[in-house]
Structure 1
Amino acid sequence: MNIKSAVKIEKSFYGTTIDGKQVDQFSLKNEGGIEVYIITFGGRITAINTADKNGKLENVVLAFNNLEQYEKKNPFFGALIGRYGNRIAKGTFSLKGIEYILAKNNGENNLHGGLKGFDKMVWKVENVEESTSFVSLKLSYYSEDMEEGFPGNLKTTVTYTLNSNNSLDVLYEASTDKTTVINLTQHSYFNLSGNFAQLIEDHEVEIDADKFVPVDASLIPTGELTSVENTPFDFRTSKAVEIAINGEHEQLKIGGGFDHCWVLNGKGYRSVAKAHHKESGRVMEVLTDQPGMQFYTGNFIDGTLPAPNNGVYAKRSGLCFETQHFPDSPNHPQFPDTTLEQGEKYATKTTFKFYVNG
């Protein structure tokens, strides 16, 4: 940590949880104009400061000012999500003939791991690494067998790496001692304007996907994979969110906007999405090896949560690009498998890359 380099990492005290656990904050910085702040509570990203086309450095992720607000009910701002990101229908699934019962914390369904998912845990710092071209923070959490109803003792590590090329890598790894299901993701809300009083409807979005996963009234997949052709869900060519989100489509009515999983084209680690804010010039590119991505437009943000500028977060204040497997996959055998067996290693990588374009 004493290496002189263009990239550096620093640690500071952030707060103490209501049950007395210390929470630390780590700042990852490079000379390319990126500063990333991460706290050990939920492994949450609390800020990504990046320059606009005029060199002005601003935070582009929705966040709170203090730990107390993160401990209260909130829409998973900046959090690591597990064991299972997204929804599981009626809070149940079966593995090898055994039915597992989960909490119903989203209507009749289980959402983002349950009542106390990975977003509410204090993660352990496994390693901090600094070099001339990158800095990384490795966090771990040990989830005991049957925690929130999920089988198997699960050891999870997530490594955040800020590179000198202004990209933030998120590497997820896990192992289990019993057959289980897993679907980890990162739940940051992005607003590339740097002004959280502005809505994200002026952001132009591109998603490399020919199909999406339609849902029923409770936002559970119907089991179909539907073409985006001639629908508001077609982001294969970049377009403004406001153009698409105001389209006439039953799925938009169900989600109150976009809250759906796109079936990403291609396989392996590849570029899958971009967001561009013309006024600021900021662009964020998303790369992943995952089969799906939940694109969410902050439809359930209700104007009650405090923003750092003494205002409040309004509906559609932020965009989420949650790379993952499909929702409710344990109950849809035709979907890509989310089962993790004893002796297997779960490993997946997502990158958020930032740059400026006019």
Structure 2
Amino acid sequence: MARAPLLLLLAAACLLSFAGAGANAAGRKMVGVYELSKGDFSVKVTNWGATVTSVVFPDSKGNLGDVVLGYDTIAEYVNGSAYFGALVGRVANRVANARFVLDGKVYHLYANDGKNALHGGHRGFSKVIWTVKEYVSGGDTPHITLYYHSFEGEQGFPGALDVYVTYELSSPYVLSVRMNATALDKATPVNLAQHTYWNLGGQGSGDVLGNTIQLFASRYTPVDSTLIPTGQVAPVAGTPYDLRAPTAVGAHIHQVSGGSSNGSTIYGYDMNYVVDGDEHALRKVAAVRDGASGRGLELWADQPGVQFYTGNFLKDIHGKGGKVYEEYGALCLETQGFPDAVNHPGFPSQIVRPGQGAYKHDMVFKFSF
């Protein structure tokens, strides 16, 4: 994945400062880290990229652990290229050839993944400062609401867009993520995704190949060698992508290609699944369990797809607390519209038009131990 220009990153790093957990944060444009806590369950979020930097809850023996990959400093998030914990957009995942046609006009995006656009371009929503609109650190429903105004032409996308995301804790051990976006003056594609890397054994504890994964998806969208969907929607039955029953993450991982690096095939999952059921209804998407720690994660969401990614490109990344992250060191479950939907009329539309309703995307993570 391409890195943003160094001068931009250095300039952004100069802006960074920290806000205390009890600060009155409404309307702030500085960069801070904000903690939400409810008993022994806590989540930290930064308004750099609307990023989840930690999720802490007990294991089966009562030991607290942080289960998301990330960095110790905000400057490392600014310079990082793995999208740890970020809110990605305006359009998550890939857009083929970094172009699309909408209402008869051709739009050219910033190509940052070979010839394709990935996660909104080199400076998508994960690489900007969001405004903290509301912050309640504790109580019955600790939450933080972040806002970003995406301007006309940002990374090549048409029209201005107002975007909000709320992270909220509820009992017991539930994290809700609510996203919405309103097109202000032009039709535009919108597809937001939450890009947290999960390791239920604890961040930096090793690979997740022994975790069991269950995806409530009977179909998937096959891709070409550059991970762009072919346009086909195929059944998972009889393929290594069939994860409808609880299956070890590593059981078939060397039978699936997750892209290439320097001409060599990278094995692992990096695939969009078509979630069963009503694509607009909140429904169960996935369940993950780590046998060693006893921790579990159940994901519910209201999007048509979910990208299952197994950290195939992680390599020698120095993360939190001196941990080093390697291949398969975490998994991502990114609920979303289908990748490259703007170039596939047969996929569910991701076009948002002024005055015709906002884009909405809800996720619920239910943790257990």
Q: Is the pair's TM-score, using the shorter chain for normalization, greater than 0.5? A: yes
Q: What secondary structure sits across from 1:26 in the alignment?
A: strand
Matched letter for residue 240 of structure 1: A
- Report what 1:90 is aligned to: 97
Q: What secondary structure sits across from 2:69 in the alignment?
A: coil
Distance across 2 between alignment mates of 1:199 and 1:130: 32
Distance across 2 between alignment mates of 1:350 and 1:94: 30
Matched letter for residue 327 of structure 1: P
Select 2:346's aligned residue among 312, 330, 334.
334
Distance across 2 between alignment mates of 1:251 and 1:130: 39
Select 2:198's aligned residue among 190, 199, 202.
190
Alignment deviations for residues 100-133 of structure 1 (CA, whole Å, 9 cap, x no partner): 0001100110000001000011110111247753
Residues 73-82 or 89-98, more deviating: 73-82
Alignment deviations for residues 196-235 of structure 1 (CA, whole Å, 9 cap, x no partner): 1410101100000001111000000011111110111111
- Report what 2:235 is aligned to: 227
- Report what 2:43 is aligned to: 36
Distance across 1 between alignment mates of 2:56 and 2:136: 21
Select 1:283's aligned residue among 292, 296, 301.
296
Alignment deviations for residues 172-211 of structure 1 (CA, whole Å, 9 cap, x no partner): 0111121000000100000000151410101100000001
Distance across 1 between alignment mates of 2:256 and 2:367: 32
> Is contact 1:215-1:251 (8 Å) kept?
no
Distance across 2 between alignment mates of 1:178 and 1:144: 11
Distance across 2 between alignment mates of 1:250 and 1:112: 20
- Report what 2:15 is aligned to: 20
Q: 1:236 to 1:157 in 2, by over 3 A?
A: same
Matched letter for residue 206 of structure 1: Q
* 2:322 equivalent to 1:314: no
Matched letter for residue 194 of structure 2: Q
- Report what 2:224 is aligned to: 216
Distance across 1 between alignment mates of 2:163 and 2:319: 31
> Is contact 2:220-2:271 (8 Å) kept?
yes
* 2:87 equivalent to 1:80: yes
- Report what 1:67 is aligned to: 74
Distance across 2 between alignment mates of 1:199 and 1:332: 35
Q: What secondary structure sits across from 1:134 in the alignment?
A: coil
Matched letter for residue 170 of structure 2: N
Q: What secondary structure sits across from 2:252 in the alignment?
A: helix
> Is contact 1:181-1:338 (8 Å) kept?
yes
TM-score, normalization by structure 2: 0.88
- Report what 2:307 is aligned to: 294
Structure 1 unpaired stretches of 5+: 1-15
Select 1:103's aligned residue among 110, 123, 126.
110
Distance across 1 between alignment mates of 2:368 and 2:82: 27
Residues 253-262 or 157-166, more deviating: 253-262
Matched letter for residue 75 of structure 1: A
Select 2:61's aligned residue among 34, 54, 57.
54
Alignment deviations for residues 298-342 of structure 1 (CA, whole Å, 9 cap, x no partner): 001122x21223232101111000000110000000000000000
Q: 1:65 to 1:250 in 2, by over 3 A?
A: closer
**CA deviation after TM superposition for structure 1 residue 165, in Å:** 1.7
> Is contact 2:143-2:168 (8 Å) kept?
yes
Identity %: 37
Distance across 2 between alignment mates of 1:185 and 1:161: 16
**CA deviation after TM superposition for structure 1 residue 346, in Å:** 1.2
Distance across 2 between alignment mates of 1:108 and 1:54: 48
**CA deviation after TM superposition for structure 1 residue 255, in Å:** 5.6
Q: 1:315 to 1:38 in 2, by over 3 A?
A: same
**CA deviation after TM superposition for structure 1 residue 82, in Å:** 0.7
Distance across 2 between alignment mates of 1:167 and 1:69: 28
Distance across 1 between alignment mates of 2:131 and 2:105: 32
Distance across 2 between alignment mates of 1:250 and 1:148: 29
- Report what 1:242 is aligned to: 250
